[in-house]
Structure 1
Amino acid sequence: MKYVLFDVDGTLIDAVSNQRRVWATWAQRYGLDADEVYRTALRSRPMETFAQVAPDRDPRECLAVLHELEDEDVRTGVYAAFDGAPDLLHGLPPGSWALVTSNYEHRVRGRFRRTGLPVPGVIVDAAAVEEGKPSPDPYLRAATRLGAEPGDCLVVEDAPSGVRSGLRAGMTVWGVNAPTAVEGVHRHFGTLREAVPHILAFASGPQGNAAA
C-alpha cells in the first residue's frame, strides 16, 4: 500500500493572506515593523521569530498573543482550499493519507471545516513532536501512525523546510504551488491541480519508482 503525507498551509489551503494579517496584527501590538516581522516568521518557528524581532519581550507572552490571534483568525478569517484539493482528498483511499503541519490540530480542523475538506484519521501537528520541520520527525511520526514504511510514502510540500523534512525521512517528495522547484524535490508541479492525477496514481499504483 502507498501513503500520501500532506503539508497543509500553502499546499492544501491558501493561508498566506491570513498568516500575513495575523503577524501584522501581532507586530502592531508590539510596535514593530510588520513587513520585517513577517519576513522573519517565514523562515523560522515562532519562538525563533520572537528572539530575533522582540528579544526584550517575554517569549511566552509573545506566543500567547500569537495563539490568540491565530485562533481568532480560524473563527473569522476567510479561507480557501487550493484548486484540486477537494477532488484529491476525496479520491484517496481511507487510511492512506495524513496531514503533517507546523500548526496545531484544532486550527487545522477549524480550517478544514471552513473549506469543506475531509479530515483524515492522522494529523501530526506542532505538539506531536519535539522537533518540527526540517527535522524528519514529523513525517516519520505520521508514517508510524499510518503503519507505513518511509519508502512507501509520498510527501507533498510547498516549502523548503518541509521538503527537507520529507527527504531526511527517506520519503519521495513532490513540490506544488511554486513557480520554481524547491531544491531536492523529486517532481515539481506549479499548482496542486496539476499534481492531482499523479498523486492519485501514486496512491493506487504498485510499489516501485515513486519519484519518476
Structure 2
Amino acid sequence: MTSEPTHPSSPRYVLFDVDGTLIDAVANQRRVWERWAAGYGLDADAVHQVALRTRPMETFSVVAPDRDPHECLAVLHELEDEDVRSGVYAAFDGASQLLAGLPPGRWALVTSNYEHRVRGRFARTGLPVPDVVVDAASVDEGKPSPLPYLLAAARLGAEPKDCLVIEDAPSGVESGLRAGMTVWGVNAPTPVEGVHRHFGSLREAVADILAFAAEPCRASQV
C-alpha cells in the first residue's frame, strides 16, 4: 500500500463507486450479458469474460466485430433497463448504515453506469441517493480517467485532497488516484494496486469511512 497523504483541517467528502462497491450487481451483469450474447448467437461465457475487462463498445469490437456497435449498445441498454425493473438486487452489508450516517451534502456517487439505473437499483434496495451523481453521461472520459471524480468534487464544492474515494475495481482506483484523492479499496480479497487502505468487505470499512467524514483531519494510515 502507498502512504496516505495528510493535509490541514478541512471538511471531508466521500465519493462512492456503485456496482461492486455499494450494490452487488455481479449476477445481474452476467445475466444481462448472457441474454445479449444469446441474441447474437455468441458464447455467453466468452462474451462475459471480455465484458469484465472492457467497456461495452470495446467488448462489441472484440466479440461482434461485424455488427453495428451502436445497435449492439442499444440492445444492451434495453436489457439493462429491463433488469433494473425486474432483476433481484442487493446492497452490500453495511451500505445502508454507512450512507445513512454520512453528513448530508458531503458524499456523492461516481458510476460508469447511468443515473436512471442507479436510482432504480437504489430504490429497489432502499438506499438513499445523494444530491450529486456523476454517471456515464456526465463526462466525456470515464474511469480510469480522473474526470469523473474531479467532477464530483467540483459539484460538491470540495478540493480533491479532501475527498475519500471508495472503490472495488482497478480502473476506479486509478481514477481516484489520478484525481489526487485518498482511495480505499473494498470487496476484494487482496488490495488493488495503489490503494491507501484495503478492506475485504464494505462492512469492515463502515466505521472508518464514517470517522473520516466526521473528523476534521484525515484518518491515519493502517
Q: Distance in 2 between matches of 1:123 and 1:170?
A: 19
TM-score, L = length of structure 1: 0.98
Q: Which residue of 2 aligns with 1:194?
A: 204
Shift of 1:206: 1.4
- The 5 A counterparts of 1:140-179 are 140-179=150-189
Comparing 202-211 and 73-82, the one that deviates more: 202-211
Shift of 1:62: 0.1
Contact 1:84 1:196 in 2 (8 A): yes
Shift of 1:27: 0.5
Contact 1:126 1:132 in 2 (8 A): yes
Higher relative contact order (CA 8 A, sep 6+): 2
Q: Distance in 1 between matches of 2:141 and 2:168?
A: 19
Say if 2:41 is the partner of 1:31: yes
Q: Which residue of 1 aligns with 2:74?
A: 64
Say if 2:129 is the partner of 1:119: yes
- The 5 A counterparts of 1:127-142 are 127-142=137-152
Q: Distance in 2 between matches of 1:150 and 1:61?
A: 38
- The 5 A counterparts of 1:37-76 are 37-76=47-86
Name the amino acid aligned to 1:55. P
Percent sequence identity over aligned pairs: 80
Q: Which residue of 2 aligns with 1:184?
A: 194
| Structure 2 unmatched ranges of 5 or more | 1-10
Query: What SS does the aligned partner of 1:66 have?
Result: helix
Shift of 1:131: 0.4
Shift of 1:207: 2.7
Q: Which residue of 2 aligns with 1:79?
A: 89
Contact 2:212 2:219 in 1 (8 A): no
Shift of 1:209: 5.2
Q: Distance in 2 between matches of 1:120 and 1:68?
A: 26
Shift of 1:36: 1.1
Q: Which runs of 4+ in 1 moved over 3 A?
A: 208-212
Name the amino acid aligned to 1:147. G
Q: Which residue of 1 aligns with 2:12?
A: 2
TM-score, L = length of structure 2: 0.94
| Cα separation, partners in 2 of 1:65 and 1:31, compared to 1, 3 Å | same
Contact 2:32 2:83 in 1 (8 A): yes
Shift of 1:108: 0.1
- The 5 A counterparts of 1:83-102 are 83-102=93-112
Name the amino acid aligned to 2:128. P
Shift of 1:155: 0.2
Contact 1:172 1:210 in 2 (8 A): no
Comparing 102-111 and 199-208, the one that deviates more: 199-208
Name the amino acid aligned to 1:2. R
